[in-house]
Structure 1
């Protein structure tokens, strides 16, 4: 009888502690809505492509992927398999006066100060409501806590379906 009382007391304590943790929401290092975090070692991942986003962003980007993502990109596999993680690093796109002094005309553009890192994680069960993808945005290594901003990730990626349903909500193509 004492053993079952102890087990019940421990279960109540564990349940109570988990209720407190879940009431607090995702950890500060995790994005709202999806709970995505910065993957360990992502800066050492394989380069998938680069991009320049003009307009309001005016940034230059490097798109990296874990091994699962890189294999899927190289093999042309769509939809991407669960476990795919794509990371987009962005910096301000700026001219390089120093480099331009070497060239006959201003022509050199480089990555300036970092703006943010965006992470897309494929988990078709966990993120079923958002096409199988979870999203996060990070500035200075910290998750951006703005839920509306993070929700806008899926809203924007979902627009791609009308243009290219086979892209699996991913804008990037593999650069060879």
Structure 2
């Protein structure tokens, strides 16, 4: 009798394990949306990354912006390492400038406009200076036409700074 109970317990445990593994397989997360051309996604946890620098964009965009970076990018900025090492990721968040209700001379973030991402991988993105680009509006990648201008703009203006506009704010 004891052997039958042990066999039943073992069979039940194996069945539960198979069920659990099957359940995990069914919970595969959906693929993240990626930018056209470069295949760049919004990185996990970027809102908690270190500040690289703020920026103010006048007309026509009239935006408040901040650039944050992952640990690799922040270390490169602090150490003055250029070009940036592979694995560096920079994220620019932008909002419409809105006058502060509490302090008239100040601007505060209004409606979010875009989140833009640069990912350094010298081999994967060799044709675009080693950088992959992504532009997202409400978490959705912008259209291909908007991505076609990314590298051209960076190449024309900041090819002497590893194609990165933002300077580190100490």
User: Which bin holds the TM-score, normalised by the shorter protein?
Assistant: 0.7 to 0.9
Residue 92 of structure 2 corresponds to residue 88 of structure 1:
yes
Match of 2:73 among 69, 72, 86: 69
Give the Cα–Cα distance (whole angstroms) in 2 for the partners of residues 28 and 109 of structure 1.
Answer: 33
For the 8 Å contact 2:66–2:94, the answer to whether it is kept is: yes
Gaps of 5+ in 2: 1-30
Residue 163 of structure 2 corresponds to residue 160 of structure 1:
no
In structure 2, the residue matched to 1:151 is 148
The normalised TM-score by structure 2 is 0.79
In structure 1, the residue matched to 2:26 is none
**Structure 1 runs, 4 residues or longer, greater than 6 Å off:** none
Give the Cα–Cα distance (whole angstroms) in 2 for the partners of residues 138 and 147 of structure 1.
Answer: 11
1:11-30 residue CA offsets vs partner (Å, 9 max, x unmatched): xxxxxxxxxxxxxxxx7700
Q: How many residues align?
A: 140
1:69-121 residue CA offsets vs partner (Å, 9 max, x unmatched): 0000111110000000000000001211x212xxxxx3111111100100000
Q: Secondary structure at the match of 2:149?
A: helix
In structure 2, the residue matched to 1:3 is none
For the 8 Å contact 1:28–1:142, the answer to whether it is kept is: no
Gaps of 5+ in 1: 1-26, 101-105
In structure 2, the residue matched to 1:133 is 131
Match of 1:52 among 45, 52, 56: 56
Give the Cα–Cα distance (whole angstroms) in 2 for the partners of residues 169 and 36 of structure 1.
Answer: 17
